[in-house]
Amino acid sequence: MRVAAKGHGKRGGARVIYYHFVSASQIALLMIYPKNEQQDLTADERKALKAVIELWR
């Protein structure tokens, strides 16, 4: 999902990490962070998010 930040041009903005629960027709917001502060999720962040999703299933 693309989220623009005011005054930061086309490449400014934030990354939105979410999970779509198909069976429940729900979307869970997991994380939002500015693109200028962090390029991508770290391996530890991915592992933590995966663990959270597994708990919700």
Question: What share of residues in the chain are helix, strand, coil (percent, to 5)?
Answer: 25, 35, 40
Structure confidence at residue 3 (pLDDT)? 66
- Chain centroid to CA 18: 5
Structure confidence at residue 39 (pLDDT)? 86
Structure confidence at residue 1 (pLDDT)? 57
Range of the domain at 46: 2-56
Encoded tokens for 49:
């998010």
Number of domains into which the chain is organized: 1
| 6-50 per-position pLDDT tens digit | 767 666 788 889 999 888 889 999 999 888 888 889 999 999 999
Among 19, 18, 15, residue whose Cα is nearest residue 3:
15
- Chain centroid to CA 20: 12
* Collapsed DSSP state (helix, strand, coil) of residue 35: coil
For the whole prediction, is pTM greater than 0.85? no
DSSP single-letter state for residue 21: E
